[in-house]
Structure 1
Amino acid sequence: MSEQRFDLAVVGAGIVGLAHALAAARLGKQVVVVDRDAQANGASIRNFGFVTVTGQEQGLIWRRARRSRDVWAEVAGPAGIAIEHAGLVLPAQRPEAAAVLQAFLETDMAGGCRWLGKDEASGQLGPVQPPALEGALISDVDLRVESRQAIPRLAAWLEAAHGVIFRRGVTVQAVETGLLVTSQGSIHADAIVVCPGDDLFGLFPDSFTQAGVTRCKLQMLRLAAPGWRLPAAVMSDLSLVRYLGYAALPEAEALKARLLSEQRSHLAHGVHLIVVQSADGSLVVGDSHDYAPTPDPFSSDALDQLILDEFAAVFGQAPPPVIERWTGTYASAPGHSLVETPAPGVRLVVVTAGNGASTAFGLAEEVIGELYGVKMGDAA
């Protein structure tokens, strides 16, 4: 690798790294992205591609999600990324869930959301027909991309349209102010952003230890095309005790108590329901959440069945056949993200809440704006 100096070097080509590359490129900076893998292979492509605003934690995280959703909408067309569908349908299967959703609609996070009563909802939810239905929250602000396609296409567009240089199959061995030491020589950069995802033991391991970062393992499924189209992404009552925009509301306590009685196994493994649809009609369904510093790589049929049971409860029908299964891992810790300055001109940035696709663009604009002393995005 011939020696070259850049304005910014980004370590990691997942969504968090790409978001920082985009933010810097929009400031006219010359950017290089270094990644040890030959292609996208981690959490950034092992998810729903669901850019979730509705239900994100109130305040800063919700604002990051709103901004990230706007950036996805801005770059999708130029980057050749299809918006597969938009919005969210969240049916309330229990009176306690309806109370949570109606309380949510009274908050400042409810822009673009509305409530459908039981009778109205049953006629407008398409295939979403839970046997027990108290009403439904409808949101117009969320969107969905096919992450396996979106991440490579975003990287290709950054290269073609913004001149971002990618060094793939290159391991970063050390980071110092102004310098990356890699398996293929040194890279000099005025500023460096390290976005290692759930690589907790490579660069800056002490930062991960001190922040209490571990890994979360999830299981996901793809189901055969059912012959109908979803009106939007779908969640369920279980999501209301997991997503902090709902779960932090006082009204959520009664729902948590009921779910502990009725679905304790689901809660024990962090199982809730998200269903999104791909262009070929197949459904991406998940997921579960189990935590360990080094999770095992094995998928559990029992956990898959918990997810599929919740699918049946929400759609009022048996799920289509499973045609694909996979696991993923991401860095997990209390709070949304780890952002540190391990050396002058160096930032360590890791999303630790499993919502990188939903919040990374907003977070990256904050980090890059601070690095370069400018205001970006909604703050500009």
Structure 2
Amino acid sequence: MTYDLAVVGAGIVGLAHALAAARRGLSVVVIDRDAQANGASIRNFGLVVVSGEEPGRQRRLAERSRKIWLEVARPAGIEVLHTGLLAVAQRPEALALLEAFAASESGAGCTLLSPAELGRRQNGLNLGNLRGGLLSPAEIRIESREAIPRIAAYLEGELKVDFRFATTVSGVSLPVVETSSGPIRAGKVVACPGDDLTGLFPELIARHDVQRCKLQMLRLAPSGLRLASAVVSDLSLIRYSGYALLPEASALRARLEDDSAEALRNGVHMIAVQSADGSLVVGDSHHYGKTPDPFGSEAVDALILREFGAVFANSPKVSARWTGTYASAPERAHFREQAGDDIRLVMITSGTGASTAFAIGEETISELFN
């Protein structure tokens, strides 16, 4: 059999391309070196961010991807655990930035909240430390470690996509894809290598100065705290381009450099989301290199928990810790390179796979099969 499309990689980016192709009625095979998805796609917050994306193309990709998540969630058996994003401000400079965002085109539909309104919206906040906040209704949260295998099962069961797990691709010379399990024939190929920088098409990846970003994540045990939405705070506002590109962000950045220098050096910010069992996924940090070490730092975890404690009145017990890595490039949120007439290399290099991959997949498939 010759497939219309072979997708290399079964993370969210690869699955997004498989979905876009299968929806067109194309025959698709997905090939992955691991026995199941085990990388960045299952180690993150599962937060589909819209308001925090850079205005313009990146924001449109997130809006489209959010729509596809909602289309796929029910038939794939994926629960949307909560919606919205609550950004809380500890510092006056953070509040000024949120006010500027609310007044911008990107802030349409968002609501500024006073400390009292924050308390009515979300229980358990450390209100004495908060000056106000902003609520975006656009974000959705899914459990990544459950959603990714369920998307794969949906593609296989309902859309007849074939999967070849525990299979390494060693080369592509269409119509043949060489693998550790023998050749696979395909008319076109999309390679979605995640943070594998030296496997397929390393010379194309090198053009973009791609390295890896290591992050540390925590799970906090159920404590009775119920999140009405995802929660972020001051440090997050200078990491998300939707806020960080506004002129008002410079004053917040200067303030944080003065009073939170250690957190900035370790790329720490605070995102908190909730799982179905009541536990919280909290993070994270950012350290960069071609091959970051695999070890977590207790000091970095403490910085994350300190930021959590500045936002919430109580800090639940840590029940799990893990690290993850994703591909990162200095000037691009993602790229698509032509590795041949019918071959594309696609990498998301900004940690925004959950937020933008579905729309990027549609673009790639349209380009290849238009």
Q: What TM-score, normalized to structure 1?
A: 0.95
CA distance in 1, matches of 2:121, 2:11: 37
Aligned with residue 2 of structure 2, among 1, 5, 18: 5
Count of matched residue positions in the alignment of Structure 1 and Structure 2: 369
Task: Specify the alignment match of 2:173 in structure 1.
Answer: 176
- Are 1:272 and 2:269 counterparts? yes
Contact 2:34 2:165 (8 Å CA) reproduced: yes
Q: 1:75 to 1:289 in 2, by over 3 A?
A: same
Task: Specify the alignment match of 1:252 in structure 2.
Answer: 249
Aligned with residue 326 of structure 1, among 306, 322, 325: 322
CA distance in 2, matches of 1:307, 1:130: 19
CA distance in 2, matches of 1:43, 1:124: 31
Contact 1:92 1:133 (8 Å CA) reproduced: yes
After superposition, give the CA deviation of every residue in 1:2-49 in whole Å (9 maximum; x if it has no partner): xx2001100000000000000011111110000010011100000011
Aligned with residue 153 of structure 1, among 140, 144, 150: 150
**2:103 match: secondary structure:** coil
**Deviation (angstroms), 1:227:** 1.0
CA distance in 1, matches of 2:24, 2:108: 30
Q: Which amino acid aligns with 1:347?
A: R
- Are 1:309 and 2:306 counterparts? yes
**2:183 match: secondary structure:** strand
- Are 1:281 and 2:267 counterparts? no
Task: Specify the alignment match of 1:236 in structure 2.
Answer: 233
CA distance in 2, matches of 1:107, 1:358: 21
Structure 1 runs, 4 residues or longer, greater than 2 Å off? 117-125, 128-132, 176-179
Q: Which amino acid aligns with 1:320?
A: P
Unaligned runs of 5+ in 2: none
1:296-375 correspondence runs (5 A) = 296-317=293-314, 319-334=315-330, 335-373=332-370
**Deviation (angstroms), 1:254:** 0.1
Unaligned runs of 5+ in 1: 374-380
CA distance in 1, matches of 2:115, 2:89: 9
Task: Specify the alignment match of 1:378 in structure 2.
Answer: none
**Deviation (angstroms), 1:106:** 2.2
Aligned with residue 52 of structure 1, among 49, 73, 86: 49
- Are 1:40 and 2:13 counterparts? no
CA distance in 2, matches of 1:169, 1:185: 12
**1:48 match: secondary structure:** coil
- Are 1:89 and 2:83 counterparts? no
- Are 1:79 and 2:69 counterparts? no
**1:109 match: secondary structure:** helix
**1:131 match: secondary structure:** helix
Q: Which amino acid aligns with 1:236?
A: S
Task: Specify the alignment match of 2:186 in structure 1.
Answer: 189
When structure 1 is superposed on structure 2, of 299-308 and 114-123 the one drifting more is: 114-123
Task: Specify the alignment match of 2:116 in structure 1.
Answer: 119
CA distance in 1, matches of 2:174, 2:105: 41
**Deviation (angstroms), 1:98:** 1.0
Contact 1:37 1:170 (8 Å CA) reproduced: yes
After superposition, give the CA deviation of every residue in 1:267-306 in whole Å (9 maximum; x if it has no partner): 1111000000111100000000000100001000000000
CA distance in 1, matches of 2:311, 2:128: 8
- Are 1:135 and 2:132 counterparts? yes
Contact 2:101 2:243 (8 Å CA) reproduced: yes
CA distance in 2, matches of 1:256, 1:106: 20
Q: Which amino acid aligns with 1:58?
A: P
**1:279 match: secondary structure:** coil
After superposition, give the CA deviation of every residue in 1:69-94 in whole Å (9 maximum; x if it has no partner): 11111110000001111111111111
After superposition, give the CA deviation of every residue in 1:129-148 in whole Å (9 maximum; x if it has no partner): 34322211111110101111
Contact 2:130 2:311 (8 Å CA) reproduced: no
Contact 2:336 2:344 (8 Å CA) reproduced: yes
Task: Specify the alignment match of 1:65 in structure 2.
Answer: 62
**2:123 match: secondary structure:** coil
After superposition, give the CA deviation of every residue in 1:163-215 in whole Å (9 maximum; x if it has no partner): 00000111000012332111111111111100000000111111121210000
Q: What TM-score, normalized to structure 2?
A: 0.98
Contact 2:174 2:185 (8 Å CA) reproduced: no
Contact 1:177 1:343 (8 Å CA) reproduced: no
Task: Specify the alignment match of 1:377 in structure 2.
Answer: none
